[in-house]
């Protein structure tokens, strides 16, 4: 697998420190499951963080620190997607299969013209996660972004105004990018897309139907 679009340093650091919300964390975990290079970088970041913690001088805490710690331990932690490498027989990586309840052959898609989608339920109210399948050789409507969008290619490929993206690649887009992804001709392109704001479509028709499509 020839992955050339990797996680930026900020995403990797925030993921390692647990500062990413669940939606962004899911995208990062899926890329990590497919990318040995970024898994190696994550291991180095986590190791460096451990060394820094060991070198910190102990600081006296408040007298009720033990009670505060017990209270925090009693609270359910926020979900964080954890990368697991994909077995040869699977199309989708973990943790995505667990979120969807199965692999591609068991999923029920909603048609969107040249593409189809599945909205992925998470506990994260700040982002929206969806699985997209773009028909081979077909485009999706031109759009820009109201916020950030992370797109991880799982199978197939697409190209846009930025570059060509194949399996494992991640595209990090924001409001400065207007693009029209087009799936490669070799196969349908299945990708995971995470957004924190609605897309901004160039087409008036798409803007009219957007509320019904949930994008």
Find the distance separating the first CA and the last CA of the chain, reported in whole Å: 30
Calpha distance 20→136 (Å, rounded)? 33
Please tell me which residue, 62 or 6, carries the higher pLDDT value.
Answer: 6
CATH 3.40.30.10, domain 99-213, yes or no = no
User: Which residues, other chains included, contact 206 with Cβ-Cβ below 8 Å and sequence gap of 6+?
Assistant: 141, 143
Cβ-based neighbour number of residue 67 at 10 Å: 10
> 174 falls in which pLDDT band (50, 70, 90)?
very high
> 86 falls in which pLDDT band (50, 70, 90)?
low
User: pLDDT tens for residues 91-147?
Assistant: 899 999 999 999 998 999 999 889 999 999 999 999 999 999 999 999 999 999 999
Residue 163 has a pLDDT of: 98
């Amino acid at each position: 697998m020839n992955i050339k679009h990797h996680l930026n340093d900020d995403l990797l650091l925030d993921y390692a420190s647990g500062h990413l919300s669940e939606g962004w964390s899911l995208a990062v975990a899926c890329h990590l499951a497919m990318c040995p290079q970024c898994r190696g970088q994550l291991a180095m970041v986590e190791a460096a963080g451990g060394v820094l913690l060991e070198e910190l001088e102990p600081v006296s805490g408040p007298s009720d620190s033990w009670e505060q710690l017990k209270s925090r331990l009693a609270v359910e932690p926020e979900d964080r997607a954890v990368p697991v490498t994909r077995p040869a027989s699977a199309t989708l990586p973990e943790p995505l299969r667990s979120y969807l309840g199965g692999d591609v052959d068991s999923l029920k898609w909603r048609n969107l013209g040249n593409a189809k989608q599945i909205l992925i339920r998470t506990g994260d109210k700040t982002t929206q996660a969806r699985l997209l399948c773009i028909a081979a050789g077909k485009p999706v409507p031109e759009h820009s972004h109201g916020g950030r969008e992370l797109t991880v290619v799982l199978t197939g490929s697409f190209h846009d105004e930025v570059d060509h993206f194949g399996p494992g690649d991640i595209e990090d887009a924001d409001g400065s990018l207007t693009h029209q992804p087009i799936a490669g001709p070799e196969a349908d392109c299945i990708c995971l897309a995470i957004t924190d704001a609605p897309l901004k479509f160039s087409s008036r028709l798409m803007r009219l139907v957007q509320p019904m499509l949930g994008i």
